[in-house]
Amino acid sequence: MKIVLQRVNNAKVEVENKIVGRIQKGIILFLGISKNYTEDKLDWMINKILNLRIWPDENDKGFQKSILDIQGEILVISQFTLYGDCSRGTKPKFNGSCEYEKAEEVYDLFIEKLREKSKLKIESGTFGGMMKINSENDGPVTLIIEK
């Protein structure tokens, strides 16, 4: 599994000109699921995301508070292209991405577990859909998490 995490002031995702997910202060997660997915890796990723200290404290000392500490919001976007292999030729190969049906199950499970463990507002895009994502990055803080 691979996630690109961005700290945001706000973000929204649209499908066919309709907003399907919107958050205020929090994080946007671009989730890629590989063929070698396991539920242990999924649980590790969720715990890492929820406890990662990426916000400053009250004294403006950086990287002291987590998404749980600030009671932020999370927007999850499926992103199979994170496993695009661009090492050869000019067209990415997606051999490392999980097959569609299994990836959709894992994506849904990821969101379900994220909701259960955090009790935060969790929004999402449409799995496999053509989406338009608008966000206002904060910092910017962008991290890649892989397991």
CA distance 129 to 59: 42
Q: Which positions are catalytic?
A: 79-81
CA distance 145 to 147: 7
- Kindly state the DSSP code that residue 87 receives in the 8-state scheme: S
Question: With contact defined as beta carbons under 8 Å apart, do 133 and 11 qualify?
Answer: yes
